[in-house]
């Protein structure tokens, strides 16, 4: 017997399903503990039974395809995994972001697909460079931010000092939800700021196993935990005096951040973070289309492609597009329309992607991420919809700061080379620029960070059997211009105008800001607009 065809769902069911979703990403500086926290969250929600099943990092188990060897060797995460688990009758979608700044364009795209973010801080380091950059993206996209102060089990900084840093540096009012009992390095547990109730943790040795929790009411905490009486009571009082009280509206408006403390490696505070996500983080809401009109959740299916990835399964040479559902109910087998081209897109091979593992996915709701296999025609920023046409705003490209000419080492492999470049371009791995002057054999690659070149070089050799040489160019500033501008700017020395393949934009590139400014003064009527600030 075949399964029954699409069961139409009521608007209220779609709304109820959307209401259960929490779709978020963790923003942090490398080494703050993002992978550890991701695993701990998944462990806590009891979807996996051992740490390491999520990421393929060195020393942990996990499946990686060959070109991911590079990220393993470097201990960085280039590919983003999407994790889905259920917790307290909610569905949590955790979108992983690459930690390294050179891949911040990928991170930006991921942040286009979330409703909330967790800002993860290392207790001994506080706000670090990469976190600040990613926070700026959250602010510009109006993504509400929860803060998790990690590694409280090892000596670090004072809690109040960290809060002060958050307020002073990024102007976000910290609102502690929990407070550590014990100084950094001697963590006894965390206390609920609102009630004074303490969660005491019994640490489990070694890896990311679930911390044992014992809940103590304030009297018992005071009686049994000397540090509770000596410091926490006063500190909570102080917090009240300095106006750190909780206000959900301020959190949602992006002017304040709830703060939680813990130690991901020992599972401490991780369950509390999940609770905060469920209780505080916003569920998917209607998303504005390119004209600013919100796409209501219960309208027919629509979604945004925020990531395209190839080579996840080498035996199939697959290419997966990750679609964030913005409205409606997704059902495998639906035929969607690609907003850019108007072409149909069949979804027979929709998958749920869990780390490196895939399972066939039958249905999905707003906030969920669907992996679409064989997605040759899709690129980041594309909209897919059913029935009722819509197009979501494009995801802007970053301003590249590194440029290199790429050539096939072996002229006989030009066909493979061309195919590879076009594939990497449409995945959004790198920006590909061309000009008549340089010709098709020698396109210019433009990157936000130089590691992107390494990825391209490795993948061209590995997946496309097209080893390449790179010749770095001396440019490091790009501006948008138009045809008239191109004609003028191309006559200037140390400057050229290139065509970006992905969107047809004309990019004028300059050796440095100083030279760019000189040219701008000389041709004040020429269009020279900044691109979105990059890494
Ligand atoms: P990522 O680069 O942000 O993904 O960081 P990882 O999750 O790989 O963690 C970086 C290092 O910090 C690893 O050695 C972790 O074991 C360690 N780490 C993560 N969380 C904690 C924690 O709560 N306490 C301590 N002491 N170390 C942690």
Residue 281 reports pLDDT greater than 90 = yes
Which whole number is the average pLDDT over 78-96?
Answer: 78
CA-nearest of 240, 163, 225, 228 to 194 is: 240
* Mean pLDDT (the chain, rounded): 85
Q: Whose CA is nearest to atom 19 of ligand 1?
A: 33
Report pLDDT digits (tens) over 95-150. Answer: 888 767 777 788 889 999 999 999 999 999 999 988 998 898 899 889 999 999 99
Between the CA of residue 295 and those of 7, 112, 288, 304, what are the distances in Å?
22, 15, 6, 12
* Residue 103, pLDDT score: 76
C-alpha 372 – ligand 1 centre gap (Å): 32
pLDDT category of residue 61 using cuts at 50, 70 and 90: very low
Residue nearest to ligand 1 atom 25, measured at CA: 151
Q: Whose CA is nearest to atom 23 of ligand 1?
A: 263
Tell which one of 26, 32, 33, 57 to mutate to probe ligand 1, the residue whose CB is within 8 A of the most ligand atoms.
33
Report which ligand 1 atom has the smallest distance to the Cα of 29: 3
**Shortest-distance atom of ligand 1 to CA 30:** 2
- Residue 454 to residue 71: CA distance in whole angstroms: 11
Is 355's pLDDT higher than 80? no
Ligand 1 centroid distance, CA of 420 (Å): 36
Task: Give me ligand 1 centre to Cα 36, in Å.
Answer: 6
Mean pLDDT of 164-190: 90
Judged against a pLDDT cut of 80, whether residue 312 lies above it is answered with: no
Dist CA 135 CA 122 (whole Å): 15
Q: Would you state the torsion angle of the CA atoms of residues 265, 270, 273, 275, taken in this order, to the nearest 10 degrees?
A: 170
CB 268 less than 6 A from any atom of ligand 1: no
Q: Distance, CA 208 to ligand 1 centroid (Å)? A: 10
33 Cβ inside 6 Å of ligand 1: yes
For residue range 476-499, list pLDDT tens digits in order: 999 999 999 999 999 999 999 999
pLDDT at res. 214? 87
Judge whether residue 349 has pLDDT over 80: no
Q: Could you identify the atom of ligand 1 that is nearest to the CA of residue 268?
A: 23
Distance CA 88, CA 275 (A): 8
What is the tens place of the pLDDT at every residue in 425-460?
988 889 999 998 898 899 999 998 888 899 899 999
- Residue by residue, DSSP assigns 145-177 as EEEEEE-TTS----HHHHHHHHHHHH--EEEES
Q: What does the block give as tokens for 409?
A: 């080492």
Q: Has residue 74 got a pLDDT over 50?
A: no
8 A C-beta contact, residue 146 and residue 120: no
Determine the distance separating the centroid of ligand 1 and the alpha carbon of 21, expressed in angstroms.
Answer: 27
397 touches 532 (CB < 8 A):
yes
User: Is the minimum distance from the CB of 55 to ligand 1 under 6 angstroms?
Assistant: no
Q: Report the separation in Å between the CA atom of 147 and the middle of ligand 1, taken as the mean of its atom positions.
A: 16
Q: Please tell me the distance between residue 33's alpha carbon and the centre of ligand 1 in angstroms.
A: 4
Å from CA of 31 to ligand 1 middle: 6
The pLDDT assigned to 456 comes to 93
Residue 345 has pLDDT above 80, yes or no: yes
76 lines ligand 1 (CB under 6 A): no
Cα-to-centroid distance, 116 and ligand 1 (Å): 22
Residue 97 Cβ inside 6 Å of ligand 1? The answer reads no
Q: Which atom of ligand 1 is nearest to the CA of 76?
A: 2
Mutate to test the pocket of ligand 1, among 27, 28, 31, 204 (most ligand atoms within 8 A of CB): 31
Residue of 119, 265, 272 best suited for mutating to test ligand 1, as the one with most atoms within 8 Å of CB? 265
Q: Extract the tokens encoding 402.
A: 């590194």
Phi, psi of 219 (to 5 degrees): -65, -45
Residue 453: left (phi > 0), alpha (psi -120 to 50), or beta? alpha
Give the pLDDT confidence score for residue 52 in this predicted structure: 35
More confident: 410 or 211: 410
Q: Is the CB of 99 under 6 A from ligand 1?
A: yes
| pLDDT reading at 290 higher than 90 | yes
């Amino acid at each position: 017997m075949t399964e029954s065809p699409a069961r139409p769902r009521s608007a209220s069911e779609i709304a109820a399903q959307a209401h259960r979703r929490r779709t978020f990403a963790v923003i942090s500086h490398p080494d703050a503990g993002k992978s550890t926290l991701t695993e701990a969250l998944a462990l806590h929600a009891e979807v996996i039974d051992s740490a390491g099943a999520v990421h393929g990092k060195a020393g942990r188990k996990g499946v990686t395809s060959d070109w991911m060897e590079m990220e393993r060797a470097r201990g960085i995460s280039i590919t983003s995994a999407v994790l889905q688990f259920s917790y307290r009758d909610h569905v949590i979608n955790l979108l992983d972001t690459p930690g390294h700044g050179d891949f911040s364009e990928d991170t930006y795209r991921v942040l286009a697909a979330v409703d909330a973010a967790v800002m993860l801080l290392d207790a001994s380091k506080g706000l670090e460079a990469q976190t600040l950059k990613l926070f700026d993206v959250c602010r510009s996209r109006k993504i509400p931010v929860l803060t998790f102060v990690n590694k409280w089990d090892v000596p670090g900084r004072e809690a109040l000092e960290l809060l002060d840093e958050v307020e002073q540096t990024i102007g976000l009012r910290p609102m502690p939800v929990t407070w550590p009992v014990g100084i950094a390095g001697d963590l006894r547990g965390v206390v609920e700021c609102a009630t004074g109730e303490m969660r005491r943790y019994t640490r489990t040795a070694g890896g990311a196993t679930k911390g044992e929790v014992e809940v103590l009411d304030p009297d018992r905490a005071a009686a049994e935990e000397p540090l509770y009486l000596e410091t926490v009571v006063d500190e909570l009082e102080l917090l009240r005096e300095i106006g750190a009280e909780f206000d959900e509206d301020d959190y949602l408006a992006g002017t304040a951040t709830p703060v939680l403390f813990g130690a991901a490696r020992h599972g401490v505070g991780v369950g509390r973070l999940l609770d905060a996500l469920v209780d505080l983080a916003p569920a998917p809401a209607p998303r504005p289309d390119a004209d600013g009109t919100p796409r209501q959740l219960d309208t027919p299916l629509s979604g945004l492609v925020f990531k395209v990835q190839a080579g996840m399964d080498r035996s199939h040479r697959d290419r997966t597009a990750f679609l964030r559902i913005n409205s409606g109910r997704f059902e495998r087998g639906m035929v969607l329309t690609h907003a850019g081209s108007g072409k149909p897109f069949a979804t027979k091979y929709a998958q749920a992607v869990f780390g490196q593992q895939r399972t066939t996915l039958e249905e999905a709701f707003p906030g969920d991420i669907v992996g679409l296999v064989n997605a040759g025609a899709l690129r980041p920023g594309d909209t897919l919809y059913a029935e009722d046409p819509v197009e979501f705003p494009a995801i802007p490209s970053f301003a590249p700061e590194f440029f290199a000419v790429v050539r096939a080492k072996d002229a006989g492999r030009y066909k493979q080379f061309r195919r590879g470049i076009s594939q990497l371009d449409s995945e959004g791995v790198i920006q590909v620029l061309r000009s008549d002057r340089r010709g098709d054999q020698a396109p210019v690659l433009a990157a936000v960070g130089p590691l992107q070149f390494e990825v391209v070089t490795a993948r061209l050799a590995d997946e496309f059997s097209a080893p390449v040489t790179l010749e770095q160019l001396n440019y490091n500033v790009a501006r948008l211009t138009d045809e008239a501008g191109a004609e003028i700017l191309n006559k200037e020395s140390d400057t050229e105008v290139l065509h970006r393949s992905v969107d047809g934009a004309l990019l004028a590139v300059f050796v440095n800001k100083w030279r760019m400014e000189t040219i701008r003064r000389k041709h004040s009527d020429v269009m020279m607009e900044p691109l979105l600030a990059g890494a």
